[in-house]
Amino acid sequence: MTLDHGDPGDAPSIPQPTGPVVNATRPSAAEEARTVAASGNTATLASLSEDGTPWASFVTYGLLGGDPVLCVSRMAEHGRNLAADPRASIAVVAPDLPDDPLAGTRITLAGVVRRPEGAELAAARAAHLAAVPAAQYYIDYSDFSLWVLGVDRVRWVGGYGRMDSASAEQYAAAVPDPVVPVAAGAITHLNDDHADALLSMAQVLGGYPDATAASCERADRYGLDLRVVTPRGVARTRVGYAEPLSGMDELRAATVELTRRSRQG
Amino acid sequence: MTLDHGDPGDAPSIPQPTGPVVNATRPSAAEEARTVAASGNTATLASLSEDGTPWASFVTYGLLGGDPVLCVSRMAEHGRNLAADPRASIAVVAPDLPDDPLAGTRITLAGVVRRPEGAELAAARAAHLAAVPAAQYYIDYSDFSLWVLGVDRVRWVGGYGRMDSASAEQYAAAVPDPVVPVAAGAITHLNDDHADALLSMAQVLGGYPDATAASCERADRYGLDLRVVTPRGVARTRVGYAEPLSGMDELRAATVELTRRSRQG
């Protein structure tokens, strides 16, 4: 049997909220992509081989603003490729890939590479070394070159049905999320010790007054992603803080405030 | 200062063996690549976008023989790319990437994709589902297609200075190593409880009679990679079993035999 996307087949339908979702603000695609870019130091480069075929290869990178800084050898095929044709893209996978790989988060950054010079070369070198300390042992060998990928196109995929593109300008202006990469412990604490508060949030702020249980799946600078159990089935919703956070140290106060507001409801 | 590769700079020189290395047999590049391909179910695809630029994107795969079987949506850029131009490659990174990413193992498999049909379609579908169980939830949607990457070119990089290419024929004929992916516990046991045996192997079979310590860094179907400490510095060497192993259950007997032989020396 062939199914069309949009035809749920035998899948259960997802219950819709029956109350207001007070603040559903979430990171933009540009912010999500910038956060993934900042989350690691390894990627896969797509470059063009001499015959025009696409060549996928493992690379390390740092970030100059949001632009990846690669350090590759011209003894390697990808180094020769970049020197001959600067069109390139990299794919980065966010840490902690789930068991279902396509439920994970990943990005593609595409554009044109350039050899940095002068002040940009010094900055690019520092950016690469900051992200890849082991590069100190080979970065100054003459066969290695630094390349800055000037990002023109950004694609972010946050799992099934969560994906979007961002412009070069949006991406360049975006700041990595200060909460996402360090929130795992806080999320465990919320779920283990404050399930009642999460339930109140889901009922009063998240649009599910009939929720019987709620758990936190992610925290970012704007709010919490909640998984909500209702008699109508399982849903996901969003509760946003009063103000965006500028650091992880503000998460506790923000969740206390969410709890207070949901109990006034 | 700019250094040339080959100029060791201030790096210590590596002490050479002073005795015979009795059996240095190790897996071929084709076998190493086949082992990496079998080690996971996620990769990065390089495909060609409509304008001829290279597009790097996260994919899942199974294996039909050694050929990757992808399942991608034509709603995604890479799905449209493959439909328009079948030239493609994938990069796969071996599990347990070390702290120094370029010391890790990775491969590129390049070729041309095809839509499998008939018996090959059934085999490709089964191969993808075996590697990616979650694909059962979307593999039959009409926007998803299976693609088999017919591998023409193989590049394996096993870390610094360990790299080689393999032909399509060599790769197709290679069998994944039955020991590499499951040897971690045995290696720990060798290092924790049989350091004296490893030292004898390094001295008698590995070419380092002046070794003062040895530890095992990897076990594969042909032998052990040893790290050897000598008064002249640290080196790596190889000790090969009497016969290649066909399974992990043969590793213990093979290392006992290596120990016996090294103590006769």
SS in 3 state form for B26-46? CCCHHHHHHHHHCCCCEEEEE
Whether residues B97 and A48 touch (CB distance < 8 A) is answered with: no
**B98, B110, B91, B8: which is closest to B43 by C-alpha?**
B91
Q: Which of A52, A56, A73 sits opposite B108 (nearest CB)?
A: A56
Give the whole-number percent of chain B exceeding pLDDT 90: 91
Residue B102 and residue A60: Cβ atoms within 8 Å? yes
CA–CA dist B223, A46 (Å, integer): 35
Confidence of residue B160 (pLDDT cuts 50, 70, 90): confident
Structure token pair of residue B236: 């790596």
Tell whether the model's pLDDT for residue A49 goes beyond 50: yes
Give residue-wise pLDDT tens across range A215-257: 999 999 999 999 999 999 999 999 999 999 999 999 999 999 9
Instruction: Judge whether residue A190 has pLDDT over 90.
Output: yes
List chain A residues with CB under 8 Å of B101: 41-42, 58, 60, 132, 134
Query: How long a stretch of residues is chain B?
Result: 265
Q: Give the C-alpha separation, B34 to B172, whole Å.
A: 8
Cα separation of A49 and A23, whole Å? 48
At residue A127, does pLDDT exceed 90? yes
> In this complex, do A108 and B56 lie within 8 Å of one another by their Cβ atoms?
yes
**Do residue B101 and residue A48 have CB atoms under 8 angstroms apart?**
no
Are residues B3 and A91, on separate chains, in Cβ contact within 8 Å?
no
Contacts of residue A74, defined as CB under 8 A and 6 or more positions apart, other chains included, come to: A80, A83, A143, A144, A145
Exposed, middle or buried: residue B62 (CB in 10 Å: 0-12, 13-18, 19+)? buried
Q: What is the pLDDT of residue B8?
A: 47
Number of Cβ pairs < 8 A linking chain A and chain B: 146
The residue type found at A29 is A
Encode pLDDT of B92-144 as tens digits.
999 988 999 999 999 999 999 999 999 999 999 999 999 999 999 999 999 99
Chain A residues with CB-CB distance to B2 below 8 A = 140-142
The pLDDT score that the predictor gives to residue A8 is 47
SS3 assignment, position A209: coil
Question: Of B58, B134, B142, which has the smallest distance from its Cβ to A93's Cβ?
Answer: B58
Facing residue for A54 by CB, picked from B3, B54, B73:
B54
Choose, out of B51, B89, B90, B129, the residue to mutate when testing the contact with A (most A CBs < 10 Å): B89
Model confidence band, residue B10 (pLDDT cutoffs 50, 70, 90): low
CB-based contact B56 A56, cutoff 8 Å? yes
Angstroms from B4 CA to nearest CA on chain A: 5
pLDDT over threshold 50, residue B1: no
- Whether residue A46 has pLDDT greater than 90: yes
- For A158, nearest residue in chain B (alpha carbons): B58
Residues of chain B contacting residue A84, judged by C-beta atoms under 8 Å apart: none
Chain A nearest-CA residue for B8: A141
Q: Do A155 and B77 touch (CB under 8 A)?
A: yes
Which residues of chain A does B5 touch, with a Cβ-Cβ cutoff of 8 Å?
73, 75, 141-143
Contact B140 A3 (CB under 8 A): yes
Cβ–Cβ < 8 Å for B155, A77 = yes
* Cα→Cα distances B48→A49, A153, A211, B60, Å: 12, 14, 47, 18
Q: How far is A259 from chain B (nearest CA, A)?
A: 36
Q: Which domains does chain A show, CATH number per domain? A: 29-173 (2.30.110.10), 180-264 (3.20.180.10)
Mutate to test the interface with B, among A41, A61, A89 (most CBs of B within 10 A): A89
What span, in angstroms and rounded, lies between the C-alpha atoms of A129 and A126? 5
Considering only CB atoms, B134 lies closest to which of A44, A100, A140, namely A100
Alpha carbon distance A127, A125 (integer Å): 5
Dist CA B9 CA B1 (whole Å): 10
Outline where DSSP puts E strands in chain A: 42-48, 54-64, 67-73, 87-93, 106-114, 144-157, 163-167, 213-219, 223-230, 233-240
pLDDT, one tens digit per residue, over A109-121 is: 999 999 999 999 9
State how far the Cα of A52 lies from the Cα of A48, in Å rounded to an integer: 5
Q: How confident is the model at residue A160 (pLDDT cuts 50, 70, 90)?
A: confident
Query: Strands, DSSP E only, in chain B?
Result: 42-48, 54-64, 67-73, 87-93, 106-114, 144-157, 163-167, 213-219, 223-230, 233-240
What is the band of B3 on the pLDDT scale with cuts at 50, 70, 90? Answer: low
Using a CB-CB distance cutoff of 8 angstroms, which residues of chain A are in contact with residue B10? Answer: none
Predicted pLDDT at A109: 98
Residue B144 pairs in a beta bridge with: B73
Residue B60 three-state SS: strand
The pLDDT confidence band at residue A5, using thresholds 50, 70 and 90, is: low
